């Protein structure tokens, strides 16, 4: 029996292998005591067999093998170069476990087929994230159909799984599916992470909520489309598999790899997983251009002018945005080629002389003169048939000649080195010639077919640009949140979460995305009074506070603002600037709201000394008087001063006397967590903001 353990203060992951077989995860959960004997744990995990079963349960190993009678989905499906199916059978080769950080590499070989599997596991003791990856090496080229990242069993004492789907303007929709014999199978064949298939999964133990209970969580860090299998076998065991979408490799090869799979176990609800992912993204995945620098307030002109770029108008808008508190001006789509609408010019990355006769310089100078930095939009992986590049190189487009277009465009073949060089040269020329500290990197259509080489090509181009322009931040956008994953986030610093600037929709999307994303990378903009994608008219205070929950920005035409709206926006922006530094390092904790109409979160600073609660009411509540809102992760025995920041916004129809209406109240963490804050009655489509900090007896 071989065994390996990865553990930190929170969790233990125990791998064990009989003879020289592939190991199984025999335990993953709450941290075990040191004196537990791994051999006993492995023996103790063996399940019984009875009539109608094989004489022992086939291993649910980290790469389940069909050849060893595994009855479920195997972890590896491949064919020899000539197309003959291969049924491999792996045996132990060697292991390396880093004495410092415990990172583990295990190698197994199949001599008959000339194959090797290399598994790596690393556990970050601060974020508690386990990063696991599988590599396949072959002596002669093989066709890969499916390769799973290390496979783990799912908990038995859990009734459902939560995975994530979505759509344009409706990203991060959580789906709860009951476990049942058979497979929950999600396969994203769009060739990008997609609105439809954020690669995340949460497995709550029975009774778990945002704040309580056991949860196991996964994220597959890849931008090309994934496959997830959650399978309950006939014998009752459950397995979780993640990998690239099947058959994404077009060529036979000798080296294949999954993306990193990020996993975490929590004993304190979904928030335990969410905080781990948030911290891991912020502190381990993203490479910041200016670590620790305040996140600048964005102004993005897209919904103000669309393709209609006129320098005097843009200058006027920039002045107004700066006066509201913006610190970065982003020139969106429409500045290049003959880009007067979305039918043309993608790939012609040269400044349009009709709109900018003296180049971008005068606008950038103006923006700088207002104290803002300058950002620019690109959509490098795309080409319009109506473009100079397409006319010169129609063969550079990906997919068939007569494919269905998406937003009148095709993807450009990023696997071709000449394509990457062309794009690099065009983008680098713009970056070299102008002081541009930010790129909004868009990707507005799905691929004609999934293709891992396309994603690798995109990564290579971004990596090259990052290496040569290390001070330029990149935001990942794909019609809003169509490319959000840890693979792209290891190359970018912000995501455009959604094209919906509807504050009600954003409130929900942000809340659910916080299961994986920290505040610092999550762009959120104050949209127009009447939302362009929903038609809803929402009050400026609600719009501003929802944007202030994340990396704040504006995207409306500032010329539409009334004096009152401008004043509210200035005030909320000033509040955000005063608080952004600690909020940038805070944990976003989703609160268990007793009222489904209230979406609430608590942003908690790392020391626990300070927090802010955002309680957004998206609809009229069913019950007439607001129910208490329980907070979380406070010190039960300490007193906290809590105050309703926006008391002034209360309506006179709130006639009662909840204590917090009168001014700050001082109350214990235990009360706040077990009774909860009684907030005043309010209209739907409003946000209440409560600030809290540990009470200092001397008022210090």
Q: Which of 110, 437, 442, 595 is catalytic?
A: 442
Q: How far apart are CA 634 and CA 609, in angstroms?
A: 9
Q: How far apart are CA 386 and CA 419, in angstroms?
A: 18
Give per-residue burial for 290-326: e unless 16+ CB within 10 Å, then b: eeeeebbbbbbbbbbbeeebeeeebbebbbbbbebbb
Q: How far apart are the first and last CA of the chain?
A: 60
Contact residue for ligand DGJ among 377, 438, 614, 671 (CB under 6 A): 377
Which residue of this chain has its Cβ atom nearest to ligand DGJ in the complex? 333
Binding mask 299-338 for ligand DGJ (x = CB under 6 A): ---x-----------------------------xx-----
Binding mask 624-643 for ligand DGJ (x = CB under 6 A): --------------------
Closer Cβ to ligand DGJ, 184 or 195, answer by number: 195
Contact present, 494 and 203 (Cβ < 8 Å)? no
Closer Cβ to ligand DGJ, 214 or 379, answer by number: 379
Q: Indicate whether 352 belongs to the interface with ligand DGJ (CB under 6 A).
A: no
442 labelled catalytic: yes
Q: Indicate whether 496 belongs to the interface with ligand DGJ (CB under 6 A).
A: yes
Contact present, 233 and 239 (Cβ < 8 Å)? yes
Q: Which of 372, 374, 280 is nearest to 335 (CA)?
A: 374
Q: What is the 3-state secondary structure (H, E, C) of 366-395?
A: HHHHCCCEEEEEECCCEECCCCHHHHHCHH
Contact present, 555 and 502 (Cβ < 8 Å)? no
Q: How far apart are CA 349 and CA 398, in angstroms?
A: 19
Closer Cβ to ligand DGJ, 189 or 445, answer by number: 445
Closer Cβ to ligand DGJ, 265 or 390, answer by number: 390
Taking the complex as a whole, the smallest distance from the CB of residue 462 to ligand DGJ amounts, in Å, to 17
Contact residue for ligand DGJ among 372, 398, 465, 477 (CB under 6 A): 477
Number of amino acids touching ligand DGJ (CB under 6 A):
11
The helix (run of H) or strand (run of E) holding residue 554 is: strand 551-554
Contact residue for ligand DGJ among 65, 381, 442, 565 (CB under 6 A): 442
Q: How far apart are CA 443 and CA 431, in angstroms?
A: 19
Q: Which span (117-125, 430-438, 477-485, 664-672) binds ligand DGJ, by CB under 6 A?
A: 477-485
Contact present, 186 and 162 (Cβ < 8 Å)? no
Q: Which span (74-82, 227-235, 397-405, 474-482) binds ligand DGJ, by CB under 6 A?
A: 474-482
| Rg, the chain, Cα only | 27
**In a 3-state reduction of DSSP, which class is residue 690?**
strand
Q: Which of 2, 139, 129 is nearest to 62 (CA)?
A: 2
Taking the complex as a whole, the smallest distance from the CB of residue 496 to ligand DGJ amounts, in Å, to 6
Q: Which of 94, 92, 86 is nearest to 141 (CA)?
A: 86
Taking the complex as a whole, the smallest distance from the CB of residue 381 to ligand DGJ amounts, in Å, to 13
Binding mask 259-298 for ligand DGJ (x = CB under 6 A): ----------------------------------------
Closer Cβ to ligand DGJ, 65 or 332, answer by number: 332
Q: Binders of ligand DGJ among 205-234, rule CB under 6 A?
A: none
Q: Which span (211-219, 380-388, 473-481, 627-635) binds ligand DGJ, by CB under 6 A?
A: 473-481
Q: How does strand 152-153 pair with strand 238-244?
A: antiparallel
342 labelled catalytic: no
Strand partners, 510: none
Q: Which span (25-33, 123-131, 199-207, 472-480) binds ligand DGJ, by CB under 6 A?
A: 472-480
Q: Binders of ligand DGJ among 63-102, rule CB under 6 A?
A: none
Q: Which span (137-145, 267-275, 475-483, 530-538) binds ligand DGJ, by CB under 6 A?
A: 475-483
Taking the complex as a whole, the smallest distance from the CB of residue 333 to ligand DGJ amounts, in Å, to 3
- Any idea of the CA torsion for 539, 541, 542, 546, to the nearest 10 degrees? 140
Q: Indicate whether 444 belongs to the interface with ligand DGJ (CB under 6 A).
A: yes
Chain centroid offset of residue 402 CA: 34
Closer Cβ to ligand DGJ, 120 or 479, answer by number: 479
Q: How far apart are CA 371 and CA 441, in angstroms?
A: 24
Taking the complex as a whole, the smallest distance from the CB of residue 152 to ligand DGJ amounts, in Å, to 35
Taking the complex as a whole, the smallest distance from the CB of residue 171 to ligand DGJ amounts, in Å, to 11
Q: How far apart are CA 277 and CA 518, in angstroms?
A: 8
Q: Which backbone phi and psi does 391 adopt, to 5 degrees?
A: -65, -35
Q: Which of 499, 502, 512, 595 is catalytic?
A: 499
Q: How far apart are CA 466 and CA 503, in angstroms?
A: 33
Closer Cβ to ligand DGJ, 302 or 545, answer by number: 302
Closer Cβ to ligand DGJ, 83 or 535, answer by number: 535
Q: Which of 568, 515, 518 is nearest to 539 (CA)?
A: 568
Closer Cβ to ligand DGJ, 524 or 621, answer by number: 524
**Binding footprint of ligand DGJ on the chain (CB under 6 A):** 302, 332-333, 377, 442, 444, 477, 479-480, 496, 499
Q: Give me the active site residues, please.
A: 442, 499
């Amino acid at each position: 029996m071989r065994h390996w353990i990865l553990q930190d203060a929170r969790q233990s992951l125990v791998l064990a292998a009989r003879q020289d077989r592939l190991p199984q995860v025999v335990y993953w959960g709450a941290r075990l005591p040191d004196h537990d004997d791994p051999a006993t744990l492995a023996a103790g995990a063996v399940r019984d067999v009875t009539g109608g079963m094989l004489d022992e349960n086939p291993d649910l190993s980290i790469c389940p093998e069909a050849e060893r009678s595994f009855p479920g989905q195997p972890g590896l499906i491949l064919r020899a170069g000539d197309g003959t199916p291969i049924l491999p059978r792996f045996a132990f080769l060697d292991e390396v476990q880093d004495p410092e950080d415990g990172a583990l590499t295990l190698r197994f070989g199949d001599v008959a087929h000339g194959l090797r599997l290399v598994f790596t596991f690393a556990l970050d003791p601060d974020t508690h994230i386990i990063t696991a990856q599988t590599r396949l090496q072959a002596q002669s080229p093989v066709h890969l159909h499916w390769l799973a990242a290390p496979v783990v069993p799912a908990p038995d004492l859990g009734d459902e799984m939560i995975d994530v789907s979505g759509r344009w303007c409706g990203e991060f929709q959580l789906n709860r599916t009951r476990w049942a014999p058979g497979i929950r199978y999600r396969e994203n064949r769009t060739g990008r992470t997609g609105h439809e298939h954020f690669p995340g999964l949460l497995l709550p133990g029975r009774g778990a909520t945002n704040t309580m209970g056991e949860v196991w969580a996964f994220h597959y860090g890849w931008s090309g489309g994934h496959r997830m299998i959650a399978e309950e076998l006939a014998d009752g065991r459950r397995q979780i598999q993640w990998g690239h979408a099947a058959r994404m490799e077009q060529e036979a090869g000798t080296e294949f790899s999954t993306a990193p799979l990020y996993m975490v176990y929590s004993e304190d609800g979904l928030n335990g997983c969410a905080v781990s992912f948030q911290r891991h993204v912020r502190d381990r995945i993203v490479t910041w251009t200016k670590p620790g620098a305040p996140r600048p307030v964005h102004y993005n002109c897209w919904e103000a002018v669309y393709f209609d770029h006129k320098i005097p108008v843009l200058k006027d808008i920039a002045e107004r945005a700066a006066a509201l508190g913006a610190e970065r001006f982003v020139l969106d789509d429409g500045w290049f080629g003959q880009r007067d609408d979305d039918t043309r010019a993608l790939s012609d990355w040269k400044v349009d002389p009709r709109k900018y006769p003296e180049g971008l310089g005068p606008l950038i100078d103006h923006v700088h003169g207002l104290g803002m930095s300058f950002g620019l939009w690109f959509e490098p992986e795309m080409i319009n048939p109506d473009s100079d590049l397409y006319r010169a190189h129609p063969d550079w487009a990906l997919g068939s000649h007569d494919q269905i277009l998406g937003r009148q465009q095709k993807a450009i073949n990023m696997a071709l080195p000449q394509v990457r060089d062309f794009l690099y040269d065009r983008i680098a020329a713009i970056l070299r010639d102008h002081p541009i500290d930010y790129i909004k990197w868009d990707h507005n259509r799905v691929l004609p077919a999934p293709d891992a080489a396309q994603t690798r090509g995109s990564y290579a181009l971004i990596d090259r640009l990052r290496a040569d322009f290390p001070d330029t931040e990149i935001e990942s956008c794909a019609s809003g949140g169509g490319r959000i994953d840890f693979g792209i986030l290891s190359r970018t610093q912000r995501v455009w979460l959604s094209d919906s600037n509807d504050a009600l929709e954003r409130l929900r999307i942000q809340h659910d995305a916080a299961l994986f994303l920290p505040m610092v990378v999550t762009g959120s903009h104050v949209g127009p009074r009447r939302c362009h994608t929903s038609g809803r008219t929402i009050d400026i205070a609600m719009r501003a506070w929802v944007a202030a929950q994340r990396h704040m920005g504006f995207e409306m035409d500032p010329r539409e603002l009334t004096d009152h709206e401008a004043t509210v926006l200035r005030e909320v922006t000033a509040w955000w600037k005063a608080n952004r530094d600690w909020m940038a390092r805070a944990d976003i904790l989703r609160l268990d709201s007793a009222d489904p109409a209230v979406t609430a979160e608590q942003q908690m600073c790392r020391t626990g000394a300070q927090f802010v609660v955002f309680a957004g009411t998206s609809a009229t509540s069913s019950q007439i008087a607001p129910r208490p809102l329980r907070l979380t992760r406070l010190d039960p025995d300490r007193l906290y001063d809590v105050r309703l920041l926006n008391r002034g916004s209360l309506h006179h129809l709130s006639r009662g006397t909840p204590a917090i209406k009168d001014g700050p109240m001082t109350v214990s963490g235990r009360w706040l967590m077990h009774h909860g804050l009684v907030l005043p009655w309010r209209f739907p489509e409003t946000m209440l903001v409560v600030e809290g900090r540990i009470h200092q007896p001397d008022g210090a």
